[in-house]
Amino acid sequence: MRPVKVALILGARPQIIKSAPFIYLASRDKWINLSIIHTGQHYDYEMTKIFFEELNLPDPSVNLNVGSGTHAQQTARIMLRLEKILGRQKPDLVVVPGDTNSTLAGALTAVKLRIPIAHIEAGARSYDMKMPEEVNRRLTDHCSTILFTPTENCTKNLLKEGIEKSKIYQTGDTMYDVLLQQLPKAEKTTILEHLNLEPKTYALVTAHRPENVDDQQNLRNIVEAIISLKKLTIVFPVHPRTQKQLKKTKLNKKLEKEKHIKIVKPLGYHETIKLIKNAKLVITDSGGIQKEAFWLKTPCITTRENTEWIETIQLGANCLTGANKQKVIEKVKEIIKNEKQINEKLQNMPNPFGDGEAAQKIIDVIKSFLKELD
């Protein structure tokens, strides 16, 4: 077999994290010539570079520097710039992780150049086409040649949509791989001391989904819910999108007045993991944090009407409240009241997200696929 050229396309924070285990293995494999193409969708230090540093990842070979814009602008800019790069690099395979605009733009560009595509985290569905990520993952899955699913439910979703069984490989979730690999380093961070927090006395809150933070009423509901939780310390790392909206609505002023709320800038991976692990509970709209809370056995409240990680709901580790102030407050009270039983239940749950070896399985499939093309 000749060494094969694989181009990995990423650009947003969660994609860097979920690609890390794949990058470690692919860049060490003598049969794989890996090129990392960063779209530049995220560009602030806290949203991208910090993860390359913390996770010891090689620098991207190219940065397309597309930056922010409307969905069409961002997607189109990536496609225009990526087409040239892929035309020059001529990879044997393009790998796209997750469900961001960078994922979709990568898949659309590659499929039109007739380059085979492998999608990492295929088959996740919230069945809510108002979410940009749902559009991105559905279209990406239907352009892909190889689909790596994290769970059985994701595999079933693809089969329901008529995707051929022979294209689907249920490998487990690379986000679980990276969590297991990085947990010792996460444990060593001093974020609890730094923020003056005692384990299991605080709630970690995140919000960044457009349906929550770009909608003034929903943002207000979430802010009012955490303001009224006065008995609980709240740690709130604020995503740039959310920061903008908090300023616009002046809700930042309300939050800053509250003694029990600690507003911080977006955190690194290790610090986030340590905070999730030691939190009494998590309130989030992030897909990744719902899973991380599940693996770290911390109760999770999801401020969305639906989730693609339905497994966490079915097992009773996570619940959906939407951006509903009363429901969030009630759920927090319920978790605190039944803390002991909930924690016992969390300790004994099966893990539907694989065995922490997803990236190795992905590499094996990719190599045998490319061997056949030779």
Give yes or no for residue 44 binding ligand UD1 (CB under 6 A).
Answer: yes
**Closer residue to ligand UD1 (CB): 44 or 256:** 44
What is the CB neighbour count within 10 angstroms for residue 224? 16
What is the CB neighbour count within 10 angstroms for residue 313? 17
Applying CB under 6 A, among 49, 89, 113, 132 the residue interacting with ligand UD1 is 132
Are 98 and 11 spatial neighbours (Cβ–Cβ below 8 Å)?
A: no
Torsional sign, CA 339, 341, 343, 349: negative
Are 305 and 311 spatial neighbours (Cβ–Cβ below 8 Å)?
A: no
Applying CB under 6 A, among 56, 65, 68, 368 the residue interacting with ligand UD1 is 68
Give yes or no for residue 133 binding ligand UD1 (CB under 6 A).
Answer: yes
Q: How far is CA 197 from CA 118, 230, 280, in A?
A: 42, 15, 11
d(Cα 106, Cα 109) in Å, to the nearest integer?
5
Instruction: Name beta bridge partners: 6.
Output: 34, 93
Give yes or no for residue 124 binding ligand UD1 (CB under 6 A).
Answer: no
Tell me how far, at minimum, the Cβ of 10 lies from ligand UD1, in Å. Answer: 11
Instruction: Name beta bridge partners: 117.
Output: 94
Tell me how far, at minimum, the Cβ of 154 lies from ligand UD1, in Å. Answer: 16
Two tokens, residue 105: 């733009």
**Closer residue to ligand UD1 (CB): 233 or 242:** 242
Applying CB under 6 A, among 19, 41, 157, 171 the residue interacting with ligand UD1 is 41
Closest CA to 9 of 33, 41, 31, 57: 41
Applying CB under 6 A, among 27, 33, 47, 324 the residue interacting with ligand UD1 is 47
Per the annotation, the verdict on 42 as an active-site residue is no
Applying CB under 6 A, among 18, 38, 42, 81 the residue interacting with ligand UD1 is 42
**Closer residue to ligand UD1 (CB): 233 or 272:** 272
What is the 8-class DSSP label of residue 232? S
Per-residue contact string for residues 314-353; x = within reach of ligand UD1 by CB under 6 A: ----------------------------------------
Active site residue: 38, 119, 208, 239, which one? Answer: 208
Per-residue contact string for residues 220-239; x = within reach of ligand UD1 by CB under 6 A: -------------------x
Stretch that binds ligand UD1, among 39-47, 152-160, 251-259, 268-276 (CB under 6 A): 39-47
Tell me how far, at minimum, the Cβ of 135 lies from ligand UD1, in Å. Answer: 9
What is the CB neighbour count within 10 angstroms for residue 347? 8
Largest CA distance in the chain: 64
Q: Report the site for ligand UD1 in 247-306 (rule: CB under 6 A).
A: none
Applying CB under 6 A, among 101, 126, 182, 233 the residue interacting with ligand UD1 is 101
Two tokens, residue 360: 């190795």
Q: How far is CA 271 from CA 70, 154, 274, 302, in A?
A: 31, 29, 5, 20
What is the CB neighbour count within 10 angstroms for residue 165? 8
d(Cα 63, Cα 246) in Å, to the nearest integer?
30
Applying CB under 6 A, among 61, 240, 339, 364 the residue interacting with ligand UD1 is 240
Tell me how far, at minimum, the Cβ of 323 lies from ligand UD1, in Å. Answer: 16
Residues in the interface with ligand UD1 (CB under 6 A) total 19
Measured at the CA of 213, the angle between CA 209 and CA 218, to 5 degrees, comes to 110
Stretch that binds ligand UD1, among 98-106, 151-159, 171-179, 289-297 (CB under 6 A): 98-106
Closest CA to 315 of 337, 348, 288: 348
Contact residues toward ligand UD1 (CB under 6 A) are 12-14, 41-44, 47, 68, 99-101, 132-133, 208, 239-241, 244
Give the active site residues.
Answer: 208
